[in-house]
Amino acid sequence: MVILGIDTSAIVSTCAICDIGEHPKVIASGSLNTKLTHSQTLVPFMESLMKGADISLDDIDAFAVSVGPGSFTGLRIGISAIKGMAFAQNKPVRPVSTLLGIAHNFTVTDAIICAVMDARCNQVYNALFRVQNGLVMRLCDDRALFIDDLKKELSKYSERIILAGDGADLVYSKINDGLIELAPPALKYQSGTGICFASEQCSDISAEALMPTYLRLPQAERERLAKEAKK
């Protein structure tokens, strides 16, 4: 099965085309980590990737996309792009947790993967995964929690722990105790390949049913509720 997968949940815009069948392989992949917005880069980037691989949308069997957690605007851009392509092609979509996609960067490593994204206000979006013998097993649901609470939870594990995601450097600076490793740059961030292979653990849905998954209300909504609470 040929999957086109994207992730626009953070500053990195990433896309990949992978065959996740009996003989899995990465057909094409790439990432952009620039100051340009996803609305400027995503579609030209995908078109360039498909052209370079000599693949058209007709060759894609299904689409996979990060649905959260992450940037509200970034998620909406990626999801809208996938909705449009999947709807036009009448092909299924696989919604993938951003954090699960990050964990799938480490399938050749036996470790606890602590996937973290900066949620501001000393909080992170986080999930823990145990990777063993190439299999990724979820240890908890995606959640938003304070870094101090994450530190307490990680102290319970005696296994190798690797921090990954755009919040990894922040967490490492806060709780580095010599036992937790920081993922190397090539594996640290969201990747289209991670989304493609993580989609094997996700169910197909229609383009119409595809929606983002938010762990917190948008900032504007939080501020509105805070103002109303003070009245």
**Low-confidence residues of the chain, pLDDT below 50?**
220-223, 225
Return the pLDDT at 34.
84
Beta-ladder partners of 136: 131
Return the pLDDT at 220.
46
Distance CA 121, CA 148 (A): 12
**Any idea what DSSP says for residue 159?**
S
Return the pLDDT at 98.
98
* Strand pairing report for 13-19 and 25-32: antiparallel
Domains detected in the chain: 2-99+190-223 (3.30.420.40), 108-187 (3.30.420.40)
Beta-ladder partners of 128: 114
Return the pLDDT at 176.
78
Return the pLDDT at 222.
45
Helix (H, G, I), strand (E, B) or coil at 47: helix
